[in-house]
Structure 1
Amino acid sequence: MAVAGALLLGAGGAQAAGPGPAHRHISRVYLTVSPETPKKIPGGNVPFKRQTAPGSGSRPDAITPAPLDSISVNDCLAHAATSSRGNGWASGRHDSCQSYHLHTWKVDCDWWFCSQVGSADADLVDYQFTPDGKFQSRHIYVEQFIGNWSRKGEMSGINLTLNTTCRPTQGSGPCQTNLGSPTTEPVDAWVALGNQYNWYYFEQPKSSGVGNARVSYADLSWHLLVTGGENGPVTRDGPNSQVRCDSASYILYASGGEGCVFPWAPVPTWTIHRSATPEAAQNIYEAQTRPLTTQPPSTLFGVPFKLIVGAPSTYPLHRDAVADHIEAHRTTAQQACRRFFPGRYPAPHTDCDEYPFASTTEGSVNYGNFRNYVVKPIDSDDNQAAGRDLGLFYATERLLGDDGFNEPFHVSVQP
């Protein structure tokens, strides 16, 4: 649902319905909502509250997920070119926001003479987030900010209501409201209160999803309503922000194998660091930058040719979580390691490292016709550490790889 456009009837066009004692004096109220421009507002640097993911402690895999950073009102307003359009601005697959400027005004008419007697302006920011890390669940949170008010003239008798809703889409089941309801105050009270926050808490239960991963979709939307004029309630509804929930069993964190993300967020990037896993990082770097120097060799019409995808500036990789597919990719890669690195593989404390990964649709089986993949024997500890980090990335970003969902991601090599 798009944000409603400009007011159809301005102050100068409002007229009394006609002469007569019952219609001699009429008050009307109007409301417009417009995109923000990048700016900062007083008190807007405090981050919104959100659940974070502390260390796992007793988890057997001993992986400690890093909590995602919250964003602030000013963070959202700084990205107004995006946060005031469509789904909004996403700082990641778990955090997004929308920002808009509201303007409401009151018009009094005596007979056919009308004049604007007051107005009020404010900034509206909806921060939408889902739990990450250990606290993954099919819960969706919205923290709604309204503030930075300015008022001119007289707005008595005018009330403003704020609300946020969650509506299931694409054949999904209900999106339950566990916390939050419409909040109504006189405009004068909103102005006097200053910066205010409203909380909403929604849930799409597992029973609402489809397929093995129990995938479900919903749209979040904010709503504004002003009353007090004789022209009836005036409403404005925000654009939908799509959220997706799943219960994929192959996502890490057995205690929290459910979660929700904003699937429209930018394609995530897994960063592998040379300082942590130098051999695996080097193999990926060579694949992305010097593919013709890697094994196995490849030709196209007799000419050396190799196209390796996945780098941030190229076509992304896509997750594949099907066990049979992963095993087939690994088998093909290991056969290549034996053929092109005799004496080096197999060997003690050595793994056959492949890129693109066996857990992607671009793995060696699917791209094997032109050998658009690379293999290299590397230290087992190095290879397995990189694999654990990749698994953590999959979990943190909730990348699906089954039931027709093969979600994209990029890979970046850093120091």
Structure 2
Amino acid sequence: MYTLPVSAKIPSLEDLQSGKAQMTQPREPLGGRLPMETVGPAARHLPLADKPSGMAELRPVRLSPTARPTYPEPPRSMTRAECKKGLQGGKLFYVKSRFAMCTGIQMIQTWAKNGTPAGQSSFTLWVISTVPDRKDRTVKYDYLFTDFFNQGRTGAGTMKVNTDVETTTWPSGARKREGGAVPPTKTFNALKASPKYQHTVIFDAGQGRGKDDVIAMSYQPYVNVIIPPNWVIREGDGKVRVGFLAAQWDAAKYLYNASGGGNAKKKGGAYFPVAVYLPYSSKTGAPERAVALHLQKAHTKPRDTKPVNSNKNVPGFGTDRKLHRLYHDGTRRDKNRDEAIKVCRQYWGNNYPQGGKDCDEYPFAITYEGCAQSLPQYEPSTPKKNFSAMPLPKADNGNAGTILAGFLTKNRIVDGRIGTEEIDGFMVKIT
């Protein structure tokens, strides 16, 4: 059995029989792979995809001409059409948000007689995972089988399709509650007649690690095709892994549903631990423009920023060097700001606030990568002076801060570390 991207064209039986086409597998193997952007325990224990996922982009909005911009609520649902569009170009995963993502795969069987293709069958499996409610810890996995095809001499009608899922949990002692069902073993024809299934997973609060009670789970659907007696497919049957769709739960006191409506087991929420982009605009008229230009300069021309460091290479602009939220150590956040202000005073003088300016810093003071990172009491082995600070208009700085605060809260981004272990992260994108 061959697998192809959902956007790939399947060679026709006639072309296979004539030798004009051969089955290939250009799609990156998904067995044991997570989206490239995955963060947290799952990313530490399992290999990541080599290609970026398809990712939707959310933009800050203004509810009125005088209101500060705000980060919108991320979507919590996805249609198959949206999944299909997001997986175009051979993408392995599509991340609509940290609460809606999917993967899909075409499965093709070439039936042989005397070593020659005699028939061909195929179907597509979509797995769409969502967290529909920010006040509920339920994660839903919707399975949908589509595009059933059967041509020539085949045994596809009675071929059995067995779908199941493998999970791993951190911490291992956490116990999940499940609902619905993974698709049961059915024949090709029976699955075509009944193609939709939903599986739900919940971890109650109180079973996790760290101050935020974090639980992580890898979720890998797989399909095993069982060929009927007296039939042969050229590629052989066996298990095909569809791809990991990791999920994470927390009960952070600083995020939505901190009380659980009075039920301790229902505190907190769930999300998919992928690093999404904080969007800032450098376009004329953008309310956060000055900050966006500052970050853009720090990323593309770091030597031109202060403090002076010819080797400066600030993090945060890609999956290989993500930023990590710093929430629980208020002293360190204050120290990040203090170190930035020292630079503003050193290069622009003690009167740098004149004209209505703030000292803007990047990486942000609310991250572990902030200006104090390399100090002896924190992470002295990290590069020194690997940040940028400069005075900017208070309005732009305030607008950018409002967007950042909404981004962290609405995406349910938790404190990024337990000790030195990565738990969560995010990235920055300037347009």
Query: TM exceeds 0.5?
Result: yes
- Where do 5+ consecutive residues of structure 1 fail to align? 1-31, 42-54, 300-304
Q: Kindly state the Cα deviation for residue 101 of structure 1 after the two structures are TM-superposed.
A: 3.2
Question: Greater share of strand residues, 1 or 2?
Answer: 1
Q: Deviations over 1:22-70 (max 9, x none)?
A: xxxxxxxxxx4634463379xxxxxxxxxxxxx9x9xxx9956333373
More off after superposition, 387-396 vs 405-414: 405-414
How many residue pairs get matched? 343
Of residues 296, 317, 324, the one that matches 1:285 is 296
The answer on 1:327 being equivalent to 2:341 is no
Q: Which amino acid aligns with 1:238?
A: R
The answer on 1:383 being equivalent to 2:422 is no
- In 1, the alpha carbon distance for the partners of 2:269 and 2:238 equals 35
Q: Kindly state the Cα deviation for residue 343 of structure 1 after the two structures are TM-superposed.
A: 5.1
Describe the SS at the equivalent of 1:245. strand
- In 1, the alpha carbon distance for the partners of 2:304 and 2:252 equals 39
Cα distance change of structure 1 residues 187 and 387 upon mapping to structure 2, 3 Å threshold: same
Of residues 373, 381, 393, the one that matches 2:407 is 393
Q: Kindly state the Cα deviation for residue 168 of structure 1 after the two structures are TM-superposed.
A: 3.5
Cα distance change of structure 1 residues 205 and 399 upon mapping to structure 2, 3 Å threshold: same
Q: Deviations over 1:287-314 (max 9, x none)?
A: 2344344333x25xxxxx2514136368
- Where do 5+ consecutive residues of structure 2 fail to align? 11-60, 231-236, 259-266, 376-382
Of residues 74, 98, 116, the one that matches 1:67 is 74
Q: Which amino acid aligns with 2:78?
A: S
Give the % identical residues. Answer: 19
More off after superposition, 95-104 vs 121-130: 95-104
The answer on 1:341 being equivalent to 2:348 is yes
Q: Deviations over 1:138-165 (max 9, x none)?
A: 3222111212112245759836455444
Of residues 38, 42, 67, the one that matches 2:7 is 38
Q: Which residue does 1:276 correspond to in 2?
A: 287
Q: Which residue does 1:218 correspond to in 2?
A: 217
Q: Which residue does 1:169 correspond to in 2?
A: 169
More off after superposition, 381-390 vs 367-376: 367-376
Cα distance change of structure 1 residues 102 and 211 upon mapping to structure 2, 3 Å threshold: same
Of residues 364, 367, 370, the one that matches 1:363 is 370
- In 2, the alpha carbon distance for the partners of 1:311 and 1:410 equals 5
Cα distance change of structure 1 residues 98 and 323 upon mapping to structure 2, 3 Å threshold: same
Please list, as runs of the form range in 1=range in 2, the aligned pairs for 1:102-121 lying within 5 A after superposition: 102-103=107-108, 120-121=121-122
Q: Which amino acid aligns with 1:39?
A: A
Q: Which residue does 1:51 correspond to in 2?
A: none
Q: Is the 8 A contact 1:270 1:390 kept in 2?
A: yes
Q: Is the 8 A contact 1:35 1:99 kept in 2?
A: no
Q: Is the 8 A contact 2:106 2:123 kept in 1?
A: yes
Q: Is the 8 A contact 1:166 1:202 kept in 2?
A: no
- In 2, the alpha carbon distance for the partners of 1:280 and 1:391 equals 15
Of residues 403, 407, 410, the one that matches 2:427 is 410
Describe the SS at the equivalent of 1:78. coil
Cα distance change of structure 1 residues 386 and 135 upon mapping to structure 2, 3 Å threshold: same
Q: Which residue does 1:206 correspond to in 2?
A: 205
Describe the SS at the equivalent of 1:65. coil
Q: Which amino acid aligns with 1:146?
A: F
Q: Which amino acid aligns with 2:217?
A: A
Q: Deviations over 1:102-137 (max 9, x none)?
A: 3569999xxxx9x99987431222222334xx7264
Of residues 248, 271, 281, the one that matches 1:245 is 248
Q: In angstroms, what is the RMSD of aligned CA positions?
A: 4.2
Q: Kindly state the Cα deviation for residue 316 of structure 1 after the two structures are TM-superposed.
A: 3.9
Describe the SS at the equivalent of 1:312. coil
Q: Which amino acid aligns with 1:385?
A: N
Q: Which amino acid aligns with 2:246?
A: V
Q: Kindly state the Cα deviation for residue 285 of structure 1 after the two structures are TM-superposed.
A: 2.9
Describe the SS at the equivalent of 1:249. coil
Q: Which residue does 1:27 correspond to in 2?
A: none
Q: Is the 8 A contact 2:134 2:257 kept in 1?
A: no
Q: Which amino acid aligns with 2:417?
A: D
